[in-house]
Structure 1
Amino acid sequence: MEFALAAANHLQPVADALVYINTSKVHPFWFPFPWAPTLHAARVSMIFHTNARRSPAQLSWGTHIIGYLIMCWGGSLLSHFLLGLPPPMLYSFDPSITYISVHLFITSIFYLFPDLLYAPVMDTILWPLDALLRTNAVTATLGLLYLPGVHAEYQNSPLTHMIIGAIASAGGGLSAATLGSWTPNWSLSTPPVLRPGAGWSGTLDVWGGALVALIYSSTTGHPAFSSLRRYVTLILSSPYLSMAWKPHADSDFPPLSTLQAKSLATAVLGIFFAARVVNTHWLIPVNVVVPSTSGSGVKKSSKKKAEKMQ
């Protein structure tokens, strides 16, 4: 807790950004919706268009819109259904207005300027925003656990917290990729995270969401993670570690505020997102020489690009 508190105190810009995207509206009259869902809608639209360009045939407007919404809302729908709660997009028009209007705007931009859609540059520029939006989605979904209609078993289970984090983070991308929602003909397939060669970067959206849930719930002092905090304190108080560094007892430090915990989780996830961008787009593939029966070596790239997910 001491390290978490020290780190959180240096993340005020991240905290300010989180407050801004959740409390400020794009425009009080013309588009009176918060920045958080608007930016999420725009970022998912970019990724959806990147995948749709690889489609062998053109998508119908119905396939295009519904496939995009699956990618946007898959995690939220699955999380609400798991907890037995009604998803907002099934009783409010606001999510549909926000996401569809933003998607149509982004679609028109890429139609007029198709060269703007270049994934390596966009991912490199926007990875801090990706970490911010992903953490915001996970922590907002974890807030559902405090609602009266949620079973106490879910509220007090660290496993449930981490499952919810993984679903909120990767549910939309996994649903879209499993269905192939950016193609004209949908069909069930193996989720990308279970395919050979996914690796750490291909599964980051899943375990990264679980990690955000772990950091957020444990540092805010949720009772579900009291055992974890106790074990960490015991480990840091062991003779081998205490000779180099004398840790304070967890009781000496109050739990982090929700905003501090969000900022810390955003920073940690951002490090992994930055590493994924470098690994996916900018590392030079290693060429290995494969023996050939003709006596000359055949070079094959050993690096595989991980499939993108939101």
Structure 2
Amino acid sequence: MALQPVADALAALSSPVHKDWFPYALAPTIHAARISIAYQANARRSSGSLSWGTYIAGYLIMCWGGTLLTHNLLGVPPPVLHSFHPYINYLTVHLALTYIFQSFPAALHPPTFDTALFPIDALVRTGAITGTLSLLAVSSNSPVHPLLVRSPLTHLIIGALASSGGGITASTLSTWSPSWTFSTPPILSAGVWGSVDFWGGALVAAIYGVFTRHEAFIDVTKTLNHAVASSKFLLPSFVISQTGEVVELAQLSPPLAKALGATVLSMLFGLRAWKVHWSAPALVSKKKAGKSKIQ
């Protein structure tokens, strides 16, 4: 199946960096690195120098804001409140990259990282989204209230916040500046591509819920199946199922549904990288910014 290589890549991200020297999974380690790059780039653009306390706390808020928000909404204790391991994992990566970019300042070039790593970013982000959505699994032992488990809106909100909550929190508080301030969340005026982390996370949650046939998406799936019956030629063969004359969306295993979400998110991240960094308007904007700095 076309989705299997993506599913294999997602599974590989759960393996440790090194089973002896650094026994933390690749996914959170990559996430720690990507947030460190973004945080340091923002800190470099801000005026004034940051104290070590501000620098560390601001980074961790950007890393874990989504985890804290989603777990708080669901009434579940977040891992960062009862385990030292996330701190060891994330701070080791952040301090190492801080040393590298202090030694080689020119290496900190976000457009290059955003363009080269957007497929990996999508895989890591999808893992975070679906990992949080696992708290909404239908189970008699679920710690989450049944109303939240059965609501598709909850799934969309959790998907959006799991994907973008850290960035939203950090930008709202300006945690990369010496003096934090509470302001209107920039996501509200970011436009389509500036907010793709948010609505893209909700889209992945919807894809995952529909294709795994989660109870919360039963009515949504029925509606989509009616639409698919008349437009099957618009969809790839691996996402439709046909029995006789009945055509509907295929039911996928969780790994394959996760892979489908990652594929869609990867395309969105790739388009964003091009639109923000390399399209003609973006290049013109960069040239104007460069001239204004010279003047």
Out of 205, 214, 221, the residue aligned to residue 197 of structure 2 is 205
C-alpha distance in 2, partners of 1:285/1:243?
35
Contact 2:69–2:161 (8 Å) recurs in 1 = yes
Which one-letter code corresponds to 1:79 in the other structure?
T
Out of 142, 146, 152, the residue aligned to residue 146 of structure 2 is 152
Residue 14 of structure 2 corresponds to residue 27 of structure 1: no
Contact 2:276–2:282 (8 Å) recurs in 1 = no
Contact 1:285–1:303 (8 Å) recurs in 2 = no
Which one-letter code corresponds to 1:255 in the other structure?
Q
Deviation, 1:46, is 0.5
C-alpha distance in 1, partners of 2:187/2:261?
22
Taking a change above 3 Å as real, the CA distance of residues 286 and 62 of structure 1, as seen in their structure-2 partners, is: closer
Which residue pairs with 1:174 in the alignment? Answer: 168
Deviation, 1:301, is 5.7
Contact 2:75–2:144 (8 Å) recurs in 1 = yes
Contact 2:118–2:266 (8 Å) recurs in 1 = yes
Out of 261, 264, 270, the residue aligned to residue 265 of structure 1 is 261
Residue 178 of structure 2 corresponds to residue 184 of structure 1: yes
Structure 2, unaligned runs of 5 or more: 290-295
Q: How does 1:1-310 map to 2 (within 5 A)?
A: 9-22=1-14, 24-146=15-137, 148-195=142-189, 198-238=190-230, 241=231, 248=242, 255-285=251-281
Q: CA RMSD in A?
A: 2.5
Structure 1, unaligned runs of 5 or more: 1-8, 288-299, 306-310
Which one-letter code corresponds to 2:4 in the other structure?
Q
Contact 1:237–1:247 (8 Å) recurs in 2 = no
Which one-letter code corresponds to 1:155 in the other structure?
V
Which has the higher Rg, Structure 1 or Structure 2?
1
- 1:79-123: CA deviation from partner (whole Å, max 9, x where unpaired): 111000111110100001101111001111101111110111111
C-alpha distance in 2, partners of 1:233/1:243?
13
Taking a change above 3 Å as real, the CA distance of residues 41 and 268 of structure 1, as seen in their structure-2 partners, is: same
Higher helix share: 2
Deviation, 1:208, is 0.3
Which one-letter code corresponds to 2:207 in the other structure?
I
C-alpha distance in 1, partners of 2:234/2:46?
57
Which one-letter code corresponds to 1:272 in the other structure?
L
Contact 1:38–1:98 (8 Å) recurs in 2 = yes
TM-score in terms of structure 1 length: 0.84
Taking a change above 3 Å as real, the CA distance of residues 252 and 210 of structure 1, as seen in their structure-2 partners, is: closer
